[in-house]
Structure 1
């Protein structure tokens, strides 16, 4: 029987065929399910890797496999493959590819142990990289509240992640909108390529900028983004020169709350709600892995791991 927060038999049957397979050469790998459950335990608790319980095997094995799969892009490929498999699965009653994605961001605090990643040149004696640039490269931003990391998401109609982008916490949401939009890959119901251009995008007032509206208009994407009060006041002040207000559908905008619910579910993983990883790519791999679990829960209908 699977323990709390571990992969159930139904979830394992879905994900096992997508994992890297042993080619028979070299030393045999430790069981994938045991190692993945160890990775999930660490994501759920936020504990140091060295505190991994013995039932998951050596902590170093779990950490190295997590890091190796992050470096090879395995976690990201798993998420994309699973999304495609679930869309084409006959029993899947999830949102259709035409469901408009919702975009938003959340700020997560950075633990003191996540600071101090190796700077450029420390290993070979070259000139050190500027600390500010190093922090920006690791998606660390400083504000009055301390160091933070911002997670930008695009989610589908059920609040399941489609695109994940990391930036420093002091970066404006509109700055990362293009990256989030470029990362959307909606699997098609047939055998064709995934869709990269949704019919519509939902966003809050943080994305109400002329540049974003022009970008969406060029790509033929409808925008459901409310106008900010200062923009509306400036338009009224200019009179006829201010132009018409942007089109906005209040009924469609109500569906934007799915992205807020997605953040709430992701932050049930304590290693996501608080960043403990020094490297930005390592932290993003944790967000991708947690997103994969959300898709697994939705496809199997098993919400055992949702318990606190």
Structure 2
């Protein structure tokens, strides 16, 4: 079973570097980069430990080592940014109505960027999608900070340059200071008022009708968690965990929005 069909591989193959060959010609030849990527995708999809990688793929040590190299060189960021920009330039991204939300991932082992919550120790994934549910930004944080404090960081890590025209979230994002700061960037924040709000209400009821379509970002998280390596965090370094999340986002784009 292949994790990538031919059209999907054609779309990303030039973004995945070949192994660097020694100038003296010595050493073992590098394994084919598609075979290695297929192995990494099997780990992503199943959530299995590296040592359980089936024999049909290169040795797990090889796949893990190349994965680490790709993380350090920014390959997974390059892939998702290239795919998202391609969609945007072809008119496939709708910034008139974007949605933001966060989700909790349990951390089973000691790790960096992990915080304690009522649910336990873990990491928070923040996501922004466009009007159709296309992923526009992903950021990974300790689970402890409130989501309203992570909005601007998540916007900074978006995959395309333009800002959302409207950003829609739940009551957790009701913040007048945040609203004002986003307006300076050309983004209108839309969120229902908190029940305990003391200041004057600022949201227009007509705008809040858009809130009913916030299920699109929740659907994205359902798609994301089909890739089991993103459900529970086993990686000590946050950049490795985020790389798996970015790779899952790339696969969602390829399968759901490129129709490859």
Q: Any residues of structure 2 matched to 1:121-200 within 5 Å, and which?
A: 138-186=112-160, 194-195=161-162, 197-200=163-166
TM-score, normalising length from structure 2?
A: 0.90
| 1:171 aligned counterpart, secondary structure | coil
2:155 partner SS: helix
Q: Is the 8 A contact 1:201 1:221 kept in 2?
A: yes
**Number of matched residues?**
255
The offset of 1:36, in angstroms, is: 0.9
1:16 paired with 2:17, answer no
Offset of 1:288 from its aligned partner? 0.5
Match of 1:238 in 2: none
Q: What is the CA deviation profile of residues 144-169 of structure 1, one whole-angstrom value per residue up to 9, with x for unaligned ones? A: 43211110111122322211111111
Q: Deviations over 1:111-170 (max 9, x none)?
A: 2xx31x5xxxxxxxxxxxxxxxxxxxx221123432111101111223222111111112
Following TM superposition, the consecutive aligned residue runs of length 4 or more in structure 1 with deviations greater than 6 angstroms are none
State TM-score, norm by structure 1. Answer: 0.77
Who is 2:97 aligned against? 100
Please state how far the C-alpha of 1:47 moved relative to its aligned partner: 1.1
Q: 1:143 to 1:223 in 2, by over 3 A?
A: closer
Q: Give the SS at the match of 1:213.
A: helix
Query: Would you say 1:75 and 2:76 are equivalent positions?
Result: yes
Kindly state the Cα deviation for residue 23 of structure 1 after the two structures are TM-superposed: 6.5
1:245 aligns with 2:202: yes
Check whether the contact 2:190–2:203 (CA below 8 A) recurs between aligned residues.
no
Residue 230 of structure 1 corresponds to: 196
Q: Structure 1's 94 and 298: CA in aligned 2 closer, same or farther, altered over 3 A?
A: farther
- Please list, as runs of the form range in 1=range in 2, the aligned pairs for 1:46-85 lying within 5 A after superposition: 46-85=47-86
Describe the shift of the 1:22–1:47 C-alpha distance in structure 2 as closer, same or farther (beyond 3 A).
Answer: closer
Question: CA shift at 1:181, angstroms?
Answer: 1.5
Q: CA RMSD for the aligned pairs?
A: 2.0
- Listed as ranges, the gaps of 5+ residues in structure 2 are none
Does the aligned pair in 2 maintain the 1:10–1:300 contact within 8 Å? no
Q: Relative to 1, partners in 2 of residues 1:278 and 1:99: Cα closer, same or farther, differing over 3 Å?
A: same
User: 1:153-196: per-residue Cα shift (whole Å, max 9, x none)?
Assistant: 1112232221111111122101111101222243xxxxxxx32x
Give the greater-gyration-radius structure (CA): 1
Please tell me whether the aligned partners of residues 93 and 134 of structure 2 are also in contact (alpha carbons under 8 angstroms): no
